[in-house]
Chain A
Amino acid sequence: MTVNELKEKLDLKPLVEDDYDREVTDCYVGDLLSWVMGRAPADSAWLTVMGNINSIAVATLADCACILADCACIILVENAALDDNAREKADMHGVNILTTPMNSYKLAVEISKLI
């Protein structure tokens, strides 16, 4: 399942588009960034309400080590806001971001049916 297919099937609103052809193979839910950093699987859709610059950094830490997340996309749930400087950095570093009014639980349930 690609980011684009998730977007179409779950009616997600695109906020930052870098590479929506990227494959999503897993899903992770979490808002405590230091926790997510060590645990989110690579190529996952990361569901969070944290739309700040640090979230973008967490999502791009792929080159660091395998224990750090390299997420396929961030999905901001419950229409959580994306900060302006976070949007800027996401554009710069190629982080896919989408948003939905659904909460994490409902979205994760839907994603589990698709991947």
Chain B
Amino acid sequence: MRELSLNVMDVAQNSVRAQASLIRIDVTESDREDNLTISISDNGCGMTDEQVQQVIDPFFTTRTTRKVGLGVPLFKLSAEQTGGSFEIRSKVGEGTVTTASYVKSSVDMTPLGDINSTVKILIQCNPDIDFVFFHSTDTGSFTLDTRELREVLEGVSLDSPSVLEWIGDFLEENTQNIYGGALS
């Protein structure tokens, strides 16, 4: 994919299909440690060890259901081609954690891309699922937690235009702060 945020979208959609009620997206960046790690965790139906091996294998997935496709293999490739690593931990009935770790300075590093839009679209398209988005850099961090928003909103749906606008502004403002005031 041209942007890692598209990989995040793809994996999060797998979580939606796995009937998750809570999806957590963590993006931790550090120039000091020359690392960017993306982790997507869900409390969906989970997978057996065998199923995990299958989603990593592009042939298994393309030959049977089209549910996962090349999404996971390409996400894995994007991390490994920077000298990073990729892991899926899953337990049936508990959920799945997909973690991709990148060497940030690698010339083969794919840009993170518009992660804020990815988060916003995920919330918009799945207003009944809760999302936690955490983003950190060497400068700072922030968290968006839709469970907290729901408490304040008292029944107003997360996909209502004014709420989405607020979410967009919140993400943009906080992203600027953790990038040291400069736009990414």
A interface residue numbers (CB < 8 A to B)? 32-35, 37, 52-54, 56-58, 60-61, 64, 89, 93
Main secondary structure of the interface of B (DSSP, over half): helix
Query: How close is A22's CB to chain B, nearest CB, in angstroms?
Result: 20
Query: How close is A105's CB to chain B, nearest CB, in angstroms?
Result: 20
Question: Which residues of chain A have C-beta atoms less than 8 A from B59's C-beta?
Answer: 53, 56-57, 89, 93
Query: How close is B164's CB to chain A, nearest CB, in angstroms?
Result: 27
**Residue from B2, B62, B73 within 8 A of A61 (CB atoms):** B62
For residue B71, which residue of chain A has the nearest CB?
Answer: A34
Q: Tell me, in angstroms, the Cα distance from A56 to B59 when the chains sit together.
A: 9
Kindly state the interface size class of chain B when it binds its partner.
10 to 19
Question: Which residues of chain B have C-beta atoms less than 8 A from A56's C-beta?
Answer: 58-59
**Residue from B1, B66, B70 within 8 A of A57 (CB atoms):** B70
Pair A57/B2 contact, Cβ less than 8 Å: no
Known interface pairs A57-B58, A61-B62; A35-B2 also in contact (CB < 8 Å): yes
Question: Which residues of chain A have C-beta atoms less than 8 A from B77's C-beta?
Answer: 33, 52, 54
B interface residue numbers (CB < 8 A to A)? 1-2, 6, 58-59, 62, 66, 70, 73-74, 77
Q: What are 22 of the A-B contact pairs (CB < 8 Å)?
A: A32-B1, A33-B74, A33-B77, A34-B2, A34-B6, A35-B2, A37-B70, A52-B77, A53-B58, A54-B73, A54-B74, A54-B77, A56-B58, A57-B58, A57-B62, A57-B70, A57-B73, A58-B70, A61-B62, A64-B62, A64-B66, A89-B59
